[in-house]
Chain A
Amino acid sequence: QKEVEQDPGPLSVPEGAIVSLNCTYSNSAFQYFMWYRQYSRKGPELLMYTYSSGNKEDGRFTAQVDKSSKYISLFIRDSQPSDSATYLCAMSGNTNAGKSTFGDGTTLTVKP
């Protein structure tokens, strides 16, 4: 069983919809939680970076972390066609080894 499980999708929504992307994890040592966006033929782009539990908002994006449930979410408000991409969650522990563990991604399509 993988340490990080991500809803595989694909997910298709109309423009303007609220999108919810989710990951669960099993390693209680994870302390840092990230969301990346990856367009086709590009590298992942960091969207959100949070430490421990709680919410973080940046523009149309909100990241939530619930460590008690080992569950993280990314919400996208007023979704745009330009948001169409694969979204990857990633997590790391409190070490200097630098390893981030990624989910396999959810592919999102926002239709005009």
Chain B
Amino acid sequence: DAGVTQSPTHLIKTRGQQVTLRCSPISGHKSVSWYQQVLGQGPQFIFQYYEKEERGRGNFPDRFSARQFPNYSSELNVNALLLGDSALYLCASSPLGGNSPLHFGNGTRLTVT
């Protein structure tokens, strides 16, 4: 079975630009979560979606937004990029959302110059 897939794997953007990251969950999983992992730190929660509805939002500015599609895939958008947005962006899927165990993809490495 295919795991969580994320695209692109690497991305380089300039300050002020906008970026869209994509995630396909494990087949049968209805929930997608997004996390930001800065080098040397643990992942930080950004969003969780379940059945296309936002279930939870972390302490990130409104420049960060996301959505979930009817096929349960998801996009994370970041506007007006800052140097501090450089990080590994991880998508995780789970069967039911909430506190279900997370299954992570390998992430998108975003570099903002």
**Chain A interface (Cβ within 8 Å of chain B)?**
4, 6, 31-32, 34, 36, 41-46, 49, 88, 90, 92-105
Q: How far is the CB of A42 from chain B (nearest CB, A)?
A: 5
Query: Are A99 and B42 in contact, CB atoms less than 8 angstroms apart?
Result: no
Given contacts A98-B33, A99-B58, contact A32 B42 (CB under 8 A): no
Size of interface on B: residues with Cβ below 8 Å to A: 28
| B84 on interface, CB distance cutoff 8 Å | no
Query: Are B43 and A98 in contact, CB atoms less than 8 angstroms apart?
Result: no
How far apart sit A41 and B48, CA to CA, in the bound complex (Å)?
23
Number of A-B contacts (CB under 8 A): 74
Query: Are A102 and B42 in contact, CB atoms less than 8 angstroms apart?
Result: yes
Given contacts A104-B41, A104-B42, contact A97 B48 (CB under 8 A): yes
Residues on B with C-beta less than 8 A from A44 are: 43, 90, 102, 104
How far apart sit A43 and B56, CA to CA, in the bound complex (Å)?
21
Query: Are B98 and A96 in contact, CB atoms less than 8 angstroms apart?
Result: yes
**Chain B interface (Cβ within 8 Å of chain A)?**
4, 31, 33, 35, 40-45, 48, 50, 55-56, 58, 90, 92, 94, 97-99, 101-107
Residues on B with C-beta less than 8 A from A104 are: 40-42
From A4, A32, A45, A95, give the contact of B104 (CB < 8 A).
Answer: A45
Residues on A with C-beta less than 8 A from B40 are: 104
How far apart sit A103 and B44, CA to CA, in the bound complex (Å)?
10
Residues on B with C-beta less than 8 A from A31 are: 99
Q: Which residue of A lies closest to B106 (CB)?
A: A43
Query: Are B106 and A99 in contact, CB atoms less than 8 angstroms apart?
Result: no
Q: How far is the CB of B83 from chain A (nearest CB, A)?
A: 21
How far apart sit A44 and B67, CA to CA, in the bound complex (Å)?
23
Q: How far is the CB of B7 from chain A (nearest CB, A)?
A: 14
Query: Are A100 and B107 in contact, CB atoms less than 8 angstroms apart?
Result: no
Residues on A with C-beta less than 8 A from B101 are: 34, 46, 49
Query: Are B48 and A42 in contact, CB atoms less than 8 angstroms apart?
Result: no
